[in-house]
């Protein structure tokens, strides 16, 4: 690893940023409460790839009075070094996004500066830990203000101050609660940021020690020699099965509803300019049918993920095998499917997430007024989809919309840059693939509001502008 080469790259990026630094003049008007407390222009909740990139994009547009809060320790934001159990990213290695069209800031430049051009050429997909290290460097080098180990609570709109009050407290242990004030709030909490990780009711009654979600911290070493049942056919289900097998699990049985596993990846289809940049520009009926079709095609385990698990003879697949019931029997879990009953020492649930804004603690004071897709669009009966109907109906910059016009206009100052924007804006928050096009939308949506809201003050400054170019 060459630290001198990385230092040279960092010097190049600084030159790039200086040369592209136009307009240089700060412009956002400072805001304080009536008793003198400072108000942030933007508070970003979530310090993973989306939150960091959003902060950098705003900083480039001279929105610098901002703060990112994240409930993880430094270096552990996002899933990459915690519950993500794949070996590599699933996106192609040439994907861009956080770099925001600065070639020297993209992961290829960072990687080559440390390991050389040949190492990049020989790299297949990007190891997930490498991506995490790149994001950590990105955060540190760009000087993005992040407060780690900090959890945000329920947003409350203060109409007299025209800002949100956001309580924050330490993520772990005891500590004093503090209230942050912000004109704009960006929700960047990732894949579950518009709901939560979901476990089906069929397992919820079991003792918690008998099952774990793929999102949970799992002691795989304790499962050595054990029989495991895995529910779900998506990538994370296969990832967890693979880790268990690699750590010495005796048998792993994976169950799924479909007759056959999906083998066509709709997300590879989606990686072109038209969809990534302009899905949000389609009429509602088209946006709905595109996203519904992508979900209908199913989430498949990528080639490497599938074969990683299949390499073990003690791995078994069970098609057309939903779990009909489960019960605890003598310290084990008994699972009944249409094809028989199985007994396992541990169950791992790979059922993904559910979209439901009522489950988000940050939105408890706002959710009743937020427009959902079911409030704005009724699909043909054949295209009905309950989960899509619960997705927030977002504006063009990822901002929430009012359920009843005029009832809660402050909702537009909250930007949902999570996977919940999938129907409205396509691959945006929580997606590396869509970041190249979604970030400019988000940043522009915020800067537009900051300018328009203070238009009278800006006009007043124009009326008073008296800097003479010359003396006649």
* DSSP annotation string for 157-197: EETTTTEEEEEEEESSS----EEEEEEEEEE--GGGTTEEE
Give the chain's radius of gyration (CA, Å): 24
- Beta partners for residue 181, in sequence order: 165
Q: Say yes or no: 63 and 140 in one domain.
A: yes
Q: Say yes or no: 104 and 250 in one domain.
A: no
Identify the band that residue 472 occupies on the pLDDT scale cut at 50, 70 and 90: confident
In this prediction, residues 429-435 reach a mean pLDDT of: 88
284 located within any domain: no
Identify the band that residue 1 occupies on the pLDDT scale cut at 50, 70 and 90: very low
In this prediction, residues 413-432 reach a mean pLDDT of: 94
139 located within any domain: yes
Contact 386, 236 (CB under 8 A): no
pLDDT > 70 in the chain, percent: 99
446 located within any domain: yes
* pLDDT at residue 73 greater than cutoff 80: yes
Task: Please tell me the predicted confidence (pLDDT) of residue 10.
Answer: 97
CA–CA distances in Å: residue 158 to residues 4, 152, 162: 50, 17, 6
Backbone torsions φ then ψ of 28, nearest 5 degrees: -75, 125
Cα–Cα dist 311/317, whole Å: 13
Q: Say yes or no: 304 and 396 in one domain.
A: no
Identify the band that residue 173 occupies on the pLDDT scale cut at 50, 70 and 90: confident
Contact 36, 137 (CB under 8 A): no
Q: Say yes or no: 257 and 333 in one domain.
A: yes
Q: Say yes or no: 184 and 212 in one domain.
A: no
360 located within any domain: yes
pLDDT digits (tens, 9 = 90+) for 28-58: 999 999 999 999 999 999 999 999 999 999 9
466 located within any domain: no
Cα–Cα dist 58/98, whole Å: 12
In this prediction, residues 14-24 reach a mean pLDDT of: 97
Q: Say yes or no: 328 and 429 in one domain.
A: no
Identify the band that residue 131 occupies on the pLDDT scale cut at 50, 70 and 90: very high
Q: Say yes or no: 449 and 342 in one domain.
A: no
pLDDT digits (tens, 9 = 90+) for 211-255: 999 999 999 999 999 999 999 999 999 999 999 999 999 999 999
What's the gap between Cα 179 and its chain centre? 24
Q: Say yes or no: 318 and 367 in one domain.
A: no
Cα–Cα dist 352/283, whole Å: 28
Question: 3-state DSSP call for residue 142?
Answer: helix
Instruction: Specify the DSSP element, H or E, that contains 334.
Output: strand 332-337
Q: Say yes or no: 144 and 73 in one domain.
A: yes
Cα–Cα dist 110/379, whole Å: 46
Question: 3-state DSSP call for residue 225?
Answer: coil
* Count of structural domains, the chain: 2
pLDDT digits (tens, 9 = 90+) for 387-406: 999 999 999 999 999 999 99
In this prediction, residues 369-383 reach a mean pLDDT of: 98
Lowest mean pLDDT among 152-166, 168-182, 209-223: 168-182
The CATH number given to whatever domain includes residue 175 is 3.50.50.60
Cα–Cα dist 136/77, whole Å: 9
Helices (H), 266-324: 266-269, 273-278, 284-297, 303-310
What is the overall mean pLDDT for the chain?
95
Q: Report pTM.
A: 0.96
Q: Say yes or no: 74 and 26 in one domain.
A: yes
In this prediction, residues 78-91 reach a mean pLDDT of: 91
CA angle 197, 258, 212 (to 5 degrees): 30
Cα–Cα dist 230/164, whole Å: 42
312: containing domain: 199-262+299-351
Half-sphere exposure of 34 (CA within 13 A, CB side): 5
Indicate the residue among 316, 351, 386 that finishes a domain.
351
Q: Say yes or no: 345 and 205 in one domain.
A: yes
* pLDDT at residue 3 greater than cutoff 80: no
409 located within any domain: yes
Q: Say yes or no: 309 and 398 in one domain.
A: no
Q: Is the dihedral of CA 360, 363, 367, 371 positive or negative?
A: negative
Indicate the residue among 351, 368, 392 that finishes a domain.
351
Q: Is the peptide bond before 26 cis (omega within 30 degrees of 0)?
A: no
Identify the band that residue 429 occupies on the pLDDT scale cut at 50, 70 and 90: confident
């Amino acid at each position: 690893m060459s630290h001198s080469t990385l230092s040279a790259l960092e010097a190049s990026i600084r030159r790039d940023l200086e040369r592209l630094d136009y307009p240089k003049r700060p412009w956002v008007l400072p805001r304080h409460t009536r008793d003198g407390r400072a108000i942030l222009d933007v508070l970003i909740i979530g310090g993973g790839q989306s939150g960091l990139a959003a902060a950098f994009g705003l900083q480039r547009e001279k929105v610098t009075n901002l703060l990112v809060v994240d409930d993880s320790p430094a270096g552990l934001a996002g899933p990459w070094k915690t519950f993500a159990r794949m070996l590599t990213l699933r996106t192609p290695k040439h994907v861009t996004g956080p770099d925001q069209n600065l070639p020297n800031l993209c992961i290829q430049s960072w990687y080559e500066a440390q390991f050389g051009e040949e190492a990049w050429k020989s790299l297949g997909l990007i190891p997930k830990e490498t991506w995490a290290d790149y994001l950590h460097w990105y955060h540190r080098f760009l000087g993005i203000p992040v407060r780690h180990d900090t959890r945000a609570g329920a947003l409350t709109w203060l109409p007299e101050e025209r800002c949100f009050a956001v309580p924050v407290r330490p993520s772990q242990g005891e500590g004093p609660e503090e209230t942050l004030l912000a004109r704009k709030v960006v929700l960047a909490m990732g894949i579950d940021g518009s709901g939560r990780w979901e476990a089906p009711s069929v397992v919820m009654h079991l003792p918690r020690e008998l099952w774990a979600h793929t999102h949970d911290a799992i002691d795989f070493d304790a499962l050595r020699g054990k029989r495991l049942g895995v529910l779900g056919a998506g990538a994370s289900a296969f990832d967890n099965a693979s880790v268990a097998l690699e750590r010495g699990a005796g048998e792993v049985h994976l169950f799924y509803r479909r007759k056959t596993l999906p083998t066509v990846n709709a997300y590879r289809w989606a990686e072109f300019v038209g969809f990534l940049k302009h899905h949000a520009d389609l009429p509602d009926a088209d946006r709905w049918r595109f996203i519904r079709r992508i979900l209908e095609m199913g989430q498949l385990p990528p080639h490497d993920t599938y074969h990683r698990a299949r390499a073990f003879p003690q791995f078994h697949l069970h098609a057309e095998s939903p779990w009909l019931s489960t019960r605890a029997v003598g310290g084990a879990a008994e699972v009944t499917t249409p094809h028989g009953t199985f007994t396992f020492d541990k169950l791992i649930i790979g059922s993904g997430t559910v979209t439901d804004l009522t489950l988000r603690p940050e939105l408890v004071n706002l959710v009743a007024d937020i427009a959902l897709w079911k409030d704005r669009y009724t699909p043909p009966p054949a295209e009905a989809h309950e989960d899509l109907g619960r997705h927030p109906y977002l504006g063009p910059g990822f901002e929430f919309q009012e359920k009843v016009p005029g009832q809660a206009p402050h909702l537009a100052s909250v930007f949902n840059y999570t996977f919940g924007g999938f129907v409205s804006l396509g691959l945006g928050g929580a997606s590396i693939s869509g970041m190249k096009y979604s970030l400019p939308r988000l940043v522009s949506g915020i800067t537009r509001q900051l300018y328009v809201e203070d238009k009278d003050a800006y006009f007043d400054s124009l009326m008073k502008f008296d800097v003479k170019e010359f003396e006649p």
